[in-house]
Every structure is written in structure tokens, then in C-alpha cells.
Chain A
Amino acid sequence: MNHLGFKLDSIKIGSFDFTCCEGCQLQLANRESSLPDFLALLDIRNFREISSERHDDYDIALVEGSITRSDEIRRLKTIRQKAKVLVAYGSCACFGGVNSRKNPIPQEELIREVYGDKHIETMPSMRIADFVQVDYSIPGCPVSKKEVEQIVVGLVTRSLVSLPRFPVCVECKQRLNTCLFDLGEICLGPVTRAGCDAVCPSGKTPCLGCRGPADDINFPAFSQLVHEQGLSTEEMREKLAFYNGFTDYHDHEG
């Protein structure tokens, strides 16, 4: 690839999944209209959803899913050693994701409920960053392919890679949506990082915070708002815990 006289290399990429639904990885193969251009930027070395070829030389590792078993920790550390850049990819990788809903429930109870008497090794759902250094995070359930494209272009051209720092409300208002609070709903849009183009509120579904908190959110003001809307502290915690993105605020009194 040649760009303004500079030779650009496609990036050697490996995509790996841990405890997750692999939906974020599938997003990589989504948006068919731009797929050929997108794939031209990538030299796919290891990505079981797209190719059966497996190579161990990759510069960038996309890591999807949360960590829930000891063998996953070992595998993750090996990936970290091989990758120059490690990207936590999707809400499970970034925050522990919806899998973290099991964390407050006793392990034995969980195993019995799902697997009966079968012996299963499991542990609380953890973030990728709990075990290895993460260079970039792309949150979302699933990730936004458009945002992933922009980040990949940024990595290839070595230009600035960033996520919006403001909350979902900005994008929601730009779409002229009716505020879900006006419809009597509780929406996490005012505290959740934008970049999703307010996809859920645009479909009249309240935001559940899959992209985690925006920068420097005003949590006390938000707590007051939801309490005024009749939500108890416990109910608010339940909502914030959906993707486990707001753990920093869990013990906040509001």
C-alpha cells in the first residue's frame, strides 16, 4: 500500500476469543460494502472465524472475551508476549461484560444450575486488563464496526487513535431522538461513552452502558437523577452492573 509517497504495511493481526459469544469478532466480517477495503489493511495471521490458517507472528492481537478459567490466563499471557500491541476488544474483554453477572453468585450454585453434577472449572469473570497490559480498548456489545474501521486505519497510518470522551446524549440528541427519560425510562446514556451513534436509544431501548463510563462523569448528579425517577440504589447498581463497566462507581453512595 502506498499513501502519499509513504509505503504502508498492512498490519499483521491475530484475533483471539476467550469467554464470550464471539459476536464482536463476527463484526469484523460485517459491513460487507467496505469489507474488501477493510481486509486489504489487514494481514490476517490467526483468526478462526475467517481462516483456518494459523500463524504465530502477529503485531496486533485483538482479544475478545473475559477471563473465567486458569488456562485462559496462561493463553492470554502467551498472546501478550507475542503481540506488539494488544487490544481489548468488546465489552467482555474491556469490563468483564455480561458474563460478570455471575460474579456475585456462589460458584457451586452456578455450576449446579448450568451443568448439574458435571465437574467444571470456573472463576469470576475478569477483564483482560486484570492480567496483562492492554494498549487499546474498543468497548461495545458488540463493537461498532465503523469505529473498528477507523481505529484500524489509525493504526495502519500511525495517526491518532481515540474514542469519544463525552456521553451518548450528544449523539442521541443529534439523531433528534426523544429522550427516554421523557418516556419514563431510565437510560444510562448520560454517563456512558459515546461512539455507538446512540444505536439503542434510537430504537427506543434504554442504554445499558456497554461502552462503559465516559470520561469524568458526574456520578453523584446521575444517581440523584435516577433516584428522582424512582429507582432505588440497589436497582441502579443492578443496571450499572449489566456489562460490569461501572465497577469504579459501584460503592459510590451517590
Chain B
Amino acid sequence: MIYKVISKPEFRAFIEALVTANTSYGPRQVDTDSHGEPIYQFMPVSSADDIAFDYTVTTSSAKHLLMPFRDELSRFSFSDGDWKQQVDYETPPIVLIGLRPCDISAINILDEVMLKGAYPSPYYLARRKNTFIIGMDHLPLPDCFCKSMNRHTVNHGFSLFCSDIGNRYYLSINSAKAFSCLKEFCLTDPSYEDNCLLIERRKHIKQSFETNIEVSGLPVFLDVEFDSPIWQKWGDKCLSCGSCAMVCPTCYCYSVEERFDLDLRGSTRESHLYSCNLVDFAQVAGGHNFRPRNGDRLKYRYYHHYRGFSANDNQQICVGCNRCGRTCLADINPKDVINDLRLEGESCVTCVSPSPAKA
């Protein structure tokens, strides 16, 4: 890692040069909600003016830029009673600007899942290798809980990370490409004062969290509470609409669909990002559904996020961005569900029967 400092106008000039020359995505205001608050999304940008550098949070994560909601995995062409498969991994390079530490952590988690397993995804790899990520720190929103998940800082997975130290950015340069891009611009080595400002900034961010969730020991706790009635209680609220998984930066489950072309001379195989809350997520041939109840479906989403599945080394995959909580129309959010579960579990302690005496 190389550390440099850049003035905000110079940084803007750097971004301008970058987005003019590359397919780029950054936070843009797309709407104003009914309370007058701006709504942001990661959208294509073609000029630094398009980017809302002081944005709060995007409604949806940047996940779909690495794992598209619908992705063509292969094409088949039929001729002379035979067929040929074509697979195209090639993908144009993209620049992602303004990702938060939790968003970059989420991509690092996706890397683990999509690349470190027994069957690495060449589709994901192609996109990931061709993605230039510029991170930016921010003061947490009242409902951000990434500190609880220890995802409020990130030290890898980006090309460049910018910490806001007033009228300058403190840059952490993490790739040769980023360094050579920045060479054309006026950078200075961090002074003693800059270093102090960075430490001050980090401390300020760390102290600004208003939402904390106790996640220590949560995996075991979840195992113990597998049959807890709270799952159906929250399931009864769940609309099974899948919005949480769509906006989530780490929900990676997908279905695969094959479709004939209309001229019947070929077909395509596509992956579609899916959600374990959807009614037919666990439905198999013959119409059998392993999780017909919304409480069970909601439970498994929480298990995947806070207990971890063996497919991702039993790691928690939630980064604490609370996008799911904000988007949920039924007001279901990780903080309330986990606190409810803990309360339920801890109130149980009083009625636990004593251990059998040693014979």
C-alpha cells in the first residue's frame, strides 16, 4: 500500500479523466423520497459532475455490477442434429467509484464464495479482475451496523481508497494500475498533520455508530435457537418479496434457467439472482417444497448471513449495511430480529432445568 494526499479539486480532475476514458459507475441521485430525502443508486456516470461524492447510501448495492441479476452463462446453437456450446467470459473493464468499506468487504466475501470454493466461477473472476474499485469512507447513518460486523474498515479488495480529511483526501493506493493513473496528478506525501487528521477521522467514524448488534457467539446461539418460535413470528410479517436479497451486497444465491430461442435454432443458459425468501426457492421436481413456510425461509436467510454455511467456510456474510432493513416494507431488520432472538434465548435461562447431578 502506498499513501498519498490529494486536494479535492485535483481528485475531481482525476475522477473526470478516469470516467471519461472508462465505463464507470458511481453514486447518483435518482429520486427524492416523500420526506424530501435524496435517493441514490450506483449508476453509469460519464463525468465527475454526475457523481454525488457526498452521498449517504445507495438503495441497492454494487453487487449486480459483478454478479448481474441476469447473466448469460452460455449459448447453444443447434445444427444437423447436433449442438455446440459457446461460453463467453470476456467482459469490458469497469470503474466503480464511491464504494463504502462495507461494500468493498462484501465484494471480498463474494470473492471467497465465488473464487475460493471447489468450483470457482469464471464469470465472476472475469468481471472481478476487470473492475477498478475506488472506495470512499463516510460517517455512518444512524442504522448502519457494519462496526458490529467488523466491516467498517477494509484493507484490501480495492484499487484506491479515499479518506476524507477536510479539503483533501488521504489516499490508500492498493494497485499498480491506480498508482500509474494517479501519476499524472498532483499528489503529496502525507505530512505529520495529514496522518493525525486520518487518525482523527477514523476515530470520529468509529465513535459515530449509533446501532450496535451483539454478534459474538451468534453462530452457536443460532444453532441452539433453530426451533425458536421467533422465526415464525418474523416470518408472519415477511412479504416474501425478495427485496432484501436483491439489494443485499452479499446475497449471491441464483437459479439457472435454460430457454430456447424463438427460432428454435439455439438456446441460452442464464443465471438469475434469487432470494431464499421467495416461495419456490426450495421447491424441487414434483412440486415438493422443503420450505413452504415464510418463517422457515426467513430463518435460513438469517442462518446464511449470521451463522454461515459450509460453502463459505461457516463465515458470517452480513457486512452490516442494513440495506435489507431499509428496503423492507414489513419493517424487518437484522437488529430487531437478532435482538429479539437474544431476548427470547436469554429469558429462557431462568427456566432451564438444572443439570443432572453426577451419579
Contacts and interface: CB of A to CB of B under 8 A. Distances in A.
Interface of A: 1, 3-5, 8, 34, 37-38, 40-41, 149-150, 153, 156-157, 159, 165-167, 169-170, 173-174, 176, 178-179, 181-184, 189-191, 214-218, 220-222, 225
A174 B69 contact: yes
A184 B64 CA distance: 27
Contacts of A167: 239-242
Given A176-B60, A178-B30, A216-B279, A37 B246 contact: no
Interface of chain B, helix or strand or loop or mixed? Answer: loop
A177 B238 CA distance: 21
A4 B59 contact: no
Contacts of A153: 259-260, 262, 264
Given A4-B83, A169-B242, A150 B259 contact: yes
A24 to B, nearest CB: 19
14 contacts: A4-B78, A4-B82, A41-B262, A169-B242, A170-B275, A174-B273, A179-B243, A190-B329, A191-B239, A214-B279, A217-B239, A217-B240, A220-B236, A221-B239
For B242, B262, B279, the residue with the greatest tally of chain A CB atoms inside 10 Å of its CB is: B262
A184 B36 CA distance: 11
A149 B261 CA distance: 9
A153 B261 CA distance: 8
B237 A176 contact: no
Contacts of B59: 176, 178-179
A216 B278 CA distance: 10
Given A170-B275, A174-B70, A225-B330, A3 B280 contact: no
Contacts of A169: 239, 241-243, 246
A165 B278 contact: yes
B281 to A, nearest CB: 9
A231 to B, nearest CB: 13
A221 B328 CA distance: 12
B34 A184 contact: yes
Contact of B262 (A149, A182, A220): A149
B294 interface: yes
Contacts of B34: 182-184
Nearest to B41: A176
Interface in B54-87: 59-60, 64, 69-70, 78, 81-83
Interface of B: 30-31, 33-34, 39, 41, 43, 59-60, 64, 69-70, 78, 81-83, 236-243, 246-247, 259-264, 273, 275, 278-280, 292, 294, 327, 329-330
A170 B281 CA distance: 13
A161 to B, nearest CB: 12
A245 to B, nearest CB: 17
Contacts of B330: 221, 225
Given A156-B264, A157-B260, A218-B237, 15 more contacts: A4-B82, A37-B262, A149-B262, A165-B280, A166-B280, A167-B241, A174-B69, A176-B43, A179-B327, A189-B241, A216-B240, A216-B294, A218-B236, A218-B239, A225-B239
Contacts of B275: 166, 170
A8 B264 contact: yes
Nearest to B235: A218
Contacts of A220: 236
A149 B275 CA distance: 26
Given A41-B262, A159-B260, A176-B60, A166 B39 contact: no
A1 B60 CA distance: 45
Given A157-B264, A173-B246, A174-B246, A225 B31 contact: no
For B43, B59, B241, the residue with the greatest tally of chain A CB atoms inside 10 Å of its CB is: B241
Contact of B241 (A1, A41, A166): A166
A159 B39 CA distance: 42
A226 to B, nearest CB: 10
Contacts of B78: 3-4
B329 A4 contact: no
Contacts of B294: 216, 218
A157 B264 CA distance: 9
B43 to A, nearest CB: 7
A101 B176 CA distance: 66
Nearest to B265: A3
A183 B280 contact: no
For A3, A149, A173, A214, the residue with the greatest tally of chain B CB atoms inside 10 Å of its CB is: A173
Nearest 3 A/B pairs, CB to CB: A184-B34, A173-B246, A169-B241
Contacts of B261: 37
